[in-house]
Each structure stands twice: as C-alpha cells, then as structure tokens.
Structure 1
C-alpha cells in the first residue's frame, strides 16, 4: 500500500470510529508506530484529523469536546496562578472598569483585585460573579443569557446585545487557542460570539492563557491577533511563538 492510500484509509477509519490508537493503526496497516505517527502528523497538518495522546480523533468530533470548568481549573494550576499574579499588575492601582471573560485563569485574576481601590466589573461568568458579589469595593454587573454547563458562563444573542451597552477600560479574555495566523479561537460558536463582543467592548485587551494554548487553533476564531494588546502566559512559551506575537505588535508577559 502506498503512503497516499494508507493516509486515505486512516482518515476513513478515524471518521468511522471517532478515535483510534497508534497501536491499532500500526497493527492494521502492518507498519511501525513511528510510521503511523508520521502519517498522523501529516494528516493533522491537512486538518483531516487531530492528534491526541496515543492516537487520533476526528477533527469534527474534537471541536465538540470541552473540558468541564472544574477539570480546567486543575490543569496547569501553578502556571495559572503565576499568570494571574502578573496580569493583575497591569491594572491601574486607582481602579477602573474591567470586563472579565469566563475561565479558570480569569477567575484567578478576579480574585486578586485589590480592596484598596474601587472596581467596576462586568462579567458573564457565574463563578466570577459569585466570588465578587459580596465585596464592597466591587460594582458588579452580571450579564444575562443562557448559562452553559461546560463554562458556567452566559452566552447567546442576549449576552452579546447586553455587552454593546458597555465600554470598559480593560478586558481580561481567555482562549482555547492562540496563533498569529488564526488569532484567538474556541470550539463553541456562542462562546466565540460572546468573546468577540467582550473584545469589541474594551479599550485594552489582555489575554491570559497558559502556554499549552499557544500554537493551538480551534474551530471558531473570535479575534485576530491584532485585536489584543497583551498576552500574559507562562515561561514555557515557545521562543519562536513569542517572537512572532511580538512582531505582530502583541506585548508578551511571561509569568
């Protein structure tokens, strides 16, 4: 079997099963695991499937997979703590209006808002609202909309319409993926629309994302790389990626 024929057969197999392992493919096609891994890398570059640990899944099915908020909160926890500590220093010490996107890293930023200044916080994230609602130094605006279970955040046209009435000094935005080519992206269309509205409603946009998000491209782009001012990430970011972001005009802060 020629490589091209094997590639076609792999795509069909992944599409029919949803997920296959490297071991299964090597046995099925009587080739080495190294050959299969090279095949999967080639097919991923063609956007025909997505590599995962130990195998591959169909590109279509992966876009529907999102980690629950509690799972994401445990992922890269130390890095997210450092990112939040670095991000909070970018705010003026006298207070301002802040748009807070949903997410485990943005929630950490919200928790660090100092109590010696007054903050106006607009958010669609239920966990962030619950955290800030009892605090006297926070003027909280909770956006309306349908709350998604996966992110515990309000989304939909009601949320987007409400955001048009606000203009914030700063927005802290999370993302599932960020590259110079594809910008900032996420799997869910309603999440993407809400994030787009957050970006449009802020004078300055700060993206908080651990380095595992760098180089990832998800289905729905919600912002071009030129739409953000600062990326706060951890020190494991690829140096070439950092250089590319800075060349595009993004200020990169490593925590």
Structure 2
C-alpha cells in the first residue's frame, strides 16, 4: 500500500471516529510504529488532524469553524469545476431552482447562467451576481434578504420568510460536511435553518460536495443523507465512502476532473 493510500484511510477513520491510536494503526496496516508516526506527522502538517499522546484526533474547531468565501474558493478548484459542470447538466430549462450559498454553488451558477427560462432563488450574493451579469431577459433571479455570514450566505428571519412557501423543482445545496451519521452539515446555526427551509421547499435535492467534505461534521445538520436525490462529488472520494453513499442517497454521480485541472 502506498503511503498516500494509507494516510487517506487513517484520515477517514479520524473523520468517522474522531480519533485513532498508533497501536491500532500499526496492527491494522502491518507497518512499523515509526511509519505510522510519519503518516500522522504528514497529516498534521496539512491540518487534517491533531497529534496527541498515543495517537491523533480531529482538528479543533471543525464543527464551528467557518472559513470565508475567498479562502474556500481556492480549495479543490478543479474538483469543484467538474462537480459544477455535472450539476448544471441536471437542471432542466424553464424550471424553478434554488441555489444555496457556497463556493461550489457559485460555480454551478457560472455553468447555469445560459440555461433558458430559469427562475432562481438564492441566499448567496455571489450566485445572484453571476445571473445578474448574464443580463438574460428570460430568467428571473430572486435574492433573499438577511444577515450575511462569513461564507456570504444571507440568513435570519428575513431570509426564512423569503424562502418559506416557495415550491421549487430542485435545490442545489452546498455543504460544509457530509457524514454517515450526521448527514449534511454546516458550522453556522442560522445558515442551517435557512438551508433546511430551502430543502423543504424543493421537490428534488441535489447536493454538490467535493471529496474533502466526507467525514467532516459541522455543528448543525441540514438534512440526512437519505433525503438527497442526487449527490455530485469527485473521483477523490474513497471507495468505502462511495459504498456508503450509494446505499444512502438516491443517486451518486462522480464527476471526472480533466487532466489539465488536476
């Protein structure tokens, strides 16, 4: 087994269980204590975990930490573009579609803005700006009001009032994390409330989430995995995660990242 493969399995266990022990990893992978410690050093250096005596745990703040939009937009760029293209291909012309806030959903908007006849509801300033720039006369774009979060989502009572009572054909949802037990999550309690209202308004739920979201748990659950009709992710998702998601979501779509974008 290559070191990168072993480290991905270690990281998957940390995300699933919250921590790992060196002795257990040595036995599981049939490698030396020093090899496992080097793996943990590598993962800690990437900020993926935090070493403790005898093992490692998930990094602190993962459940409530909310990076800003610009910081997130530089992560997994190739994967997000591939996911966004695949998601856009699922949206029919002349439909009513919701787009939640997020860097991946903002890219979905870039691929959707030429789709004719859309009615778009969003709580994302970035998503709304993409459609406004297109200047199409056959599209209707409604931006909810509300307070702005670090990820540039509009939330709060005004956002909720704007969403409730709508009937959407589909919602494209961006998430902070996805987990077998916790489902689709966010680190922001108010954003979670707005996203749940968007989910309730939609006939079909399409989740756009790159592979790094698997195993991450935000403080608040938006929806369980089995509420998702289509999950679009990328090739970096581990085989074990794919098996779990194929059993839980309606349909799993794995977008291929072009070689030049990797």
TM-score by length of 2: 0.73
SS at match of 1:221: strand
**Could you tell me how far 1:240 is from its partner in structure 2?**
1.6
**Could you tell me how far 1:157 is from its partner in structure 2?**
2.2
**Could you tell me how far 1:228 is from its partner in structure 2?**
1.0
Q: CA RMSD in A?
A: 2.6
> Is it true that 1:220 corresponds to 2:220 in the alignment?
yes
**Could you tell me how far 1:183 is from its partner in structure 2?**
0.7
What does the per-residue CA deviation read over 1:80-107, in whole Å, with 9 as the maximum and x for residues that have no partner?
A: 0000111111112x32111010011001
Matches within 5 A, 1:143-182: 143-148=144-149, 150-182=150-182
Distance 1:202 1:180, change over 3 A: same
Alpha-carbon separation, structure 2, partners of 1:248 and 1:58: 24
Alpha-carbon separation, structure 2, partners of 1:146 and 1:80: 26
Alpha-carbon separation, structure 1, partners of 2:166 and 2:71: 31
Alpha-carbon separation, structure 1, partners of 2:192 and 2:115: 34
Distance 1:117 1:244, change over 3 A: same
Matches within 5 A, 1:90-239: 90-92=90-92, 94-113=93-112, 115=114, 117-134=116-133, 135-136=135-136, 137-148=138-149, 150-239=150-239
SS at match of 1:90: coil
Equivalences, count? 212
Larger-gyration structure (1/2): 1
Alpha-carbon separation, structure 1, partners of 2:204 and 2:223: 13
**Could you tell me how far 1:119 is from its partner in structure 2?**
0.5
Is there any run of 5+ residues in structure 1 with no aligned partner, and where? 1-31, 39-50
Bigger RCO (CA 8 Å, 6+ sep)? 2
Is there any run of 5+ residues in structure 2 with no aligned partner, and where? 1-33, 41-46, 256-262
TM-score by length of 1: 0.75
**Could you tell me how far 1:114 is from its partner in structure 2?**
5.1
